[in-house]
Amino acid sequence: MGNLGDIHKARERIQPFIHQTPILHSSQLSKRCQNNIFLKAEHLQKTGSFKIRGAANKVMQEVAKGTTYVTAASSGNHGQAVAYVAQTLGIPSTIVVPEDANVSKVKAIQSYHGNIVACGLTSAERIPKAKELAIEKQGVYIPPYDDPLIIFGQGTVGLEIIEQVKDADIVVVPVGGGGLMAGILTAIKETNPSIQVVGVEPEAANDTYLSLKNGHITQISPTSTIADGLRTSQPGDLTFPILQNYLDDLVLVSEEEIKQALLFVMERMKQLIEPSSATTVAACLSEKLQVLNKRIVCVISGGNVDVHTIEPMLAGL
Which residues form the catalytic set? 51, 301
CA distance 277 to 300: 5
3-state secondary structure of 112: coil
Q: What are the CA-CA distances from residue 51 to residues 25, 31, 37, 217 (Å)?
A: 23, 31, 23, 23
First to last CA, the chain: 44
Instruction: Give the other-Cβ count within 10 Å of 221's Cβ.
Output: 6
What's the chain's length in residues?
317
Q: Where are the alpha helices (DSSP H) in the chain?
A: 4-14, 27-33, 51-64, 77-89, 103-111, 123-136, 148-164, 179-189, 207-214, 239-246, 255-269, 275-285, 310-313
Nearest one of 128, 119, 190 to 158, comparing CA atoms? 190
CA distance 287 to 295: 14
CA distance 274 to 113: 24
